[in-house]
Amino acid sequence: MTEWPELVERTRSILLEVARAGGTVTYGQLRERLGVELPHRGPGDLAALLRAASLAEERAGRGLVSVGVVGPSGRPGAGWFRLAAEVGRDVSDKEESCRRERHRLAVDAPGGAGSS
């Protein structure tokens, strides 16, 4: 079984690639791209993984990379908005908060529009 730190790093890599492309992936597509069985951390195993990846990117100064993982609404789940508020983002306008975070990531992601 793949170790947790490796899963977090793989998730970060996938989501940074999505951010550079200015796109999104569904939760199911992300699971498929990860290509591994997630360790059982309870019903929120994917949520815990997304949180860990986002916090790692936030510490690196790039942003909450899990904004690129969306449900049927085209927006991230409620957990993303809770995390965004927790780290000080204004999430009063859900569409705008997602747009701002995706733009930030597209610019600041390694290999993105703002990197040199």
Beta strands 69-70; 25-26: pairing state = parallel
Q: Does the pLDDT of residue 41 top 70, yes or no? A: no
pLDDT at 114 over 60: no
Backbone angles phi, psi at 38, to 5 degrees: -75, 145
Please, which residues have CB within 8 angstroms of residue 109's CB and are 6 or more apart in sequence?
Answer: 16, 19, 20, 62, 65, 115
pLDDT digits (tens, 9 = 90+) for 50-96: 999 999 999 998 899 999 999 998 999 999 999 999 999 999 999 99
Nearest to 81 by CA among 54, 105, 110: 54
Mean pLDDT of 22-37: 88
Torsion, Cα 14 63 37 42, to 10 degrees, reads -170
